[in-house]
Amino acid sequence: MDLLIYLAPASVFLGAMGLFAFWWTLRNGQYEDPAGDAARILVDDPEDRPA
């Protein structure tokens, strides 16, 4: 059971990574325009088209 001493902080650290990732997406404005992001993937960029 001594392994818990390493595993406990490791699991909390992983959870904290998830929380940090969410904070980052929030800061990054990724929830500002869900409808637009869903639609934008369907729009062809002129640069992407084969010549």
Partner 1 sequence: MALTYDLARAPDLSAFLKRRDGGSPTLELLVKGARCASCLSKIEREAAAVGGVESARLNLTSGKLTVAFRSAQGADPAAVIAAVEAAGYPATPYDPGQAALAHDKEGRRLILCLAVAAFGAMNSMMFTVPLWAGLFGQELGPATRTFMQWWSALVATPCALYAGMPFFESAWRSLRARRANMDVPISIGVILTLAISFSETILGGPDAYFDAAVSLLFLLLIGRWLDHQLRAKARSAAADLLALQAPAATVLDGQGRERIKPLSDVAVGDEVLVRPGERIPVDGRVTAGVSELDNALLTGETAPVPVQEGELCRAGALNLSGLLRLTATARSEDSAVAAIARLVEAGAQAKSKYVRLADKASAIYVPVVHTAAALTFAGGWALGLGPREALLRAVAVLIITCPCALGLAVPAVQISASARLFRRGVLVKSGAALERLAEVDHVVFDKTGVLTEGKPRLLDAPTGLVATAAPLARASAHPLAKALAAEAGPGPAAIEVVEHPGQGVEGMIDGRRARLGRASFVGVSGETSGETEIWFGFEGDTKVRFRFTDALRPDAAQAIAALKARGLTVEVLSGDLSDPVARAAAAAGIEDWRAGLTPEGKSAAVDALKAQGRKVLMVGDGLNDAAALARAHAAIAPGTALDASQNAADLVFSGEGLMAVAQSVDTARVSRTRAMENFGFATLYNLVATPAAMFGLVNPFVAALAMSGSSLIVTLNALRLRSR
Identity of the residue, 42 or 51, whose beta carbon is nearer to partner 1 in the bound complex: 42
By CB under 8 A, residue 49 contacts partner 1: no
How crowded is residue 40: how many other Cβ atoms within 10 Å of its Cβ? 10
By CB under 8 A, residue 15 contacts partner 1: yes
12: enclosing H helix or E strand: helix 4-27
Which of these, 20, 17, 38, 36, lies nearest to 28 by C-alpha position? 20
Please name the residue that has the structure tokens 């490791």: 10
By CB under 8 A, residue 26 contacts partner 1: yes
For binding to partner 1 (CB under 8 A), which residues are involved?
Answer: 1, 4-5, 8, 11-12, 15-16, 18-19, 22-23, 26, 32-36, 39-43
